[in-house]
Structure 1
Amino acid sequence: MIKISFILFLALQSVVVSQVIQSWVGIYNGPGNSTEFSRAMVLDKYGNIYVTGTSVGNGTSGDYVTIKYNNTSSIPHWVRRYFGPGNNSENAEDIAVDDSGNVYVTGGSNFGYEATTIKYDNEGNLLWVSHYQNSDSMYIGGVSISVNNDGVFIVCKSWSISGLTDCVTIKYNFSGSIQWVQRYNAPGNTYDEPRDIINDRYGNIYITGSSGGNSFPIKLLLIKYSASGNQQWIQTYSGPANMQDGGYSLCADSAGNIYVTGESAGSGTSLDFVTISYTSTGVERWIQRYNGAANDDDRAFAITTDNFGNIIVTGRSISAGSNFDYCTIKYNSTGVQQWVRRYNGPGNDMDISYAVDTDSAGNVYVTGTSMRTSELNSLDMATIKYNSFGIEKWVQRYNGPGNRTDYAWAIGVDKFGNVFVSGEGSGISPDYDITTIKYIQPIGIIQISSEIPKTYKLSQNYPNPFNPVTNIKFAVAKTGLVTLKVYDISGRETSRLVNEELNAGIYNYVFNASHLPSGIYFYKLTSVNFSETKKMVLVK
């Protein structure tokens, strides 16, 4: 009986969570009606979405463009463009927000060949612009940005006149003044290329990338700086082939451990995924490698942690007979592999995952680009949800209006389980537009806080009036049976949203009323010695 019940539960769960809906698509085509490139996306704590990239303007070859969307609308809240002196090409690469909603963008400018970093307030007002160049660099550009309570940190790729590259890390205060600059040039004057920067909960800064070449093997590089700019340690890694290794992405857990993922040349296996964990003092905790069945090119591009200390990496892996597949791997905190999931799209050809995120329940979301047919340039944005056990719950594909090639580079999940994806979509013209998509998972409940509330509470739904999706937030003070039901104006029950035992905590239910007509409805929360009812209005 227990086994039957469990199987039934899994079946019902599969039906419930598979009902994902594309809520809106935001498409941005700049004033030059030409090519727009999305490079990065970030969500703030209020659920707003920020996207940055490069856009051709009127009389400019490329401007920074930064777009803010509210959670509920595909119409931008604001759009800000920046072009520097000389109307040369400006290429934005990364974006971050602070706790006050201020927005920071970094990248490079072809005028003066300098790293350009910009700060906007939450309404898009320009607060400052900083241009950084030094005398021994032919060109320098911002690659990645991180913000904490102590300041703004960017890592740049710097080209010397000889053509070699260094990693340059810069700290700004919140007024835009440079606090310190650190340059890393490996022994042997090799090519040093940064790809990612993060900060941990203690304010330390970490950068990763690669270092080598010029007759030296290319190694994975990881550097730690203190908040005051002092170099704490450097770690490099060479795989079995001692030839080509590099870090692409970083994350940190609540204990201060650092995780890096990327590529590593194996012995007879071409490139493999490599994922390494270090303590905050630079001591290696574990290394995991992944080689796909084809013994060919496997590269991990993104890494994240979930609320339970697990590590998830994603990238591309060649499979016999299907070219590249999405490949997503979950490890526990000690490096033990929990599962591997591969995705081969309908085109049975090139499928590459570039970004990963998780929600509060440990579900995993990945996005990238995937062939829809065997025809050239038939690539879609493809987004996948796995539950914490690695079971595929849904796949959403997006083919832009131009019916050509679409790329997704970034993904984010808010506390309500809404999924946001950004990249480039093919427009009606031959060029690309910056494309941002919101997916909602309307049937299901998400615990948004494990904090134990003092009292039961049913909040007013939002938005209200709504069409057809709204959020119902409620607090459960004591573990027990909870029901949440919807009634029409005559008192007839129309929907039973929750009817189960819940732990104490704060929850949000995303209610999809697409099956109901317009009108006034009432929703009622009932638990042990508690009952409360509120009114909501559905307008179609």
Structure 2
Amino acid sequence: MKKILLLFILLIPFTNIYAQWYWTNPFPQGNSINTFKIISGKFVSVGECGTVQMTTDRGVTWQFSNTVADLRFDITALSCYDQNTYYAATYGNGGFFIKSTNAGLNWSVISTDIYPNGLSSRAIQFLDTDNGFLLSRYSLFTTSNGGINWSPPRSVNSIIEVRDLHFFNKDTGLVCGGDVLFPGASLIRTTNGGINWTVIITSLGLVNNMQFINSDTGFAFHDYLTYLTTDRGLTWDTLGNPDSLVGGYGHFFDYSTGYVMGKSLYFTTNSGANWTEKEYSIFHPLEMHFDNVNTGYITGSNNIISTSNGGLNWSNISGPTGNGTASTRLLSACFIDQNTGFVVGWTGALLKTTNSGENWNNVNTLTSTIYNHIADVDFINSSTGYCVRGNSWNGDLLKTTNGGNNWFVADSIAIPSGSLQSIKFVNQTLGYTVDNDGNIFRTTDSGNNWSLHMNLGNIELDNIIFADENTGFLSGYVHPYMASIYKTTNSGQNWALISNLDNQYILSLYAVDQNTVYAAGRGLLKSTNGGINWTQKLPGTLATTIFQNTYFSSDSVGYLAGTGIIYKSTNFGENWYPLYVPTNNYLYDIHFFNDNTGIIVGENATILKTTNGGGNFTSGINQISSQIPDGFSLHQNYPNPFNPSTNIAFDIAKNGFVQLKIYDITGREVSTLVNQDLKPGSYSYCWNPENLSSGIYFYILKTGSFISTRKMTFLK
């Protein structure tokens, strides 16, 4: 396995974690948590996009990092060896193994490419600082030098789905798991370090986790049973179990006292002879740990709950709850002024802020099981606003007359079919909304009455915008790869088809003025003649990357949002540079108050804010697609000439060692940008020459027998 340079990222307090973007919803952040541990009263969890999240006061304050050496893969396994030494490993890209020696404050990447791409780590255990074990979905790996090198995989295929491991020494250990469909091995034992295995327990279902309270005595928690061993897992007895236990996960403090978790929480003080039920409320409970008999934590798909009185009462220590749960996609943002704004989305979510997006409150929107998501929101003044909501075949309008504090169904619109997708008011009285059945609805009295204005035929309309009171644009599609754009020059009275774009679809429109219009979808299109002609502004594979929205905070400064990515332009949309965002979530809408301050919203109730224009352009390598390209290629840098930085894009067709180097005009090597193994995919490197002088430079990509050279010009 490859040892790489140790890279460190400081974990700092929750407030204003990032100089670029920081979380304002949900609390404390919106990436999913995959697993957690309790060490000396400290809650330590890891999750998506390299998230490490910690609290020592049951969620009153948090420390977290969304990057470990710019790690954007999901962390799926965690082990706390002692109060200072933590280990973690990732899913995807062959596996990263990372380590902290100061209680999670700093992390280092120790090794990579541990297991085949597409597999995930499941569990980690270290016997000492040198000897450890890493369990992936199908294999066990061992190390004798602290994770710098790992053994070849040792199969655990006798278990269909592995979940946990426990080793007593370098030779003797256990792995558990099982199969929810067919009876089979659910706990296996080795006495030679995983080379050979003996099936100890066969069952239908999963043994989800194991816990040992001393060197010999431990528990294994099955979906329906709790097992006890006193001889290091050689033999097991079953404890008495609650009748309704399903999906068991457990924690014991001694031979007699412990908890098991299923549909409810159960507590015993006599080794399972009797159980006391303690209710809790959490969607899809995933994992449970207790620090002591009173203080414990449970993670679920949406949140984290904690108890300080032995499970009698539970409190949410991470949001969100109710409307705006972690499963919510936030689709659209609208601000009345610099302070007051609204964000809407799935499951009837409507959030309101009165302090420029720093804090958000859920607003009751009369969520309907029929019309289950809100697609768009717009206000005509500080008091009166409208939301469009619906499902795939129908919808309605919601209205507020008191600044968004209360909402009611506006019954003045009759929708023959289709779901309302977008709403926009041209002025205080004139407004439009469109649906996915080609209908345009119109109001001329501030929304008190609506009527069907026209039908454009067999087209799904999904965006309506206005550059001014006269000029507006509509976008939709007849089929997924034929986008159509309509235009009005008389305030929406008439609409004319001005563009049919083959092999393209549009997810959002933004008009800087009546001539300059942007369309985000497959890449980013720009028109400078009012939508008649369009030019793709993104090079290479970025031109086929899906972007959800674009927004210009001024004529020259624009932002482009996609799946866990933000790009920024400072030269009127001509060139775009990546910005770092602390999530891989889909990002659906953007709103900026000025060139520096703005928000982005997305799935899992994501709301991120920046006060410095999204931070500096990301320098370094960025994988922009994992789709395997047809061949190797090196693209022309953009912009070119450039100052202060430029993007170099390249495609890797198969696994291999890759070098990307920069040379000056004399042939002298001035910088090595990439010098590592890469998986197949498309990559981009943002290079900032910093201390180099102006002039012509050459960049060369080498991998295997492939060599390609291109020229670029740096202007200071």
Q: Which has the higher contact order (CA 8 A, sep 6+)?
A: 1
Structure with greater strand share of residues = 1
Which of structures 1 and 2 has the bigger CA Rg? 2
TM-score w.r.t. the length of structure 2 is 0.38
When normalised by structure 1's length, the TM-score is: 0.48
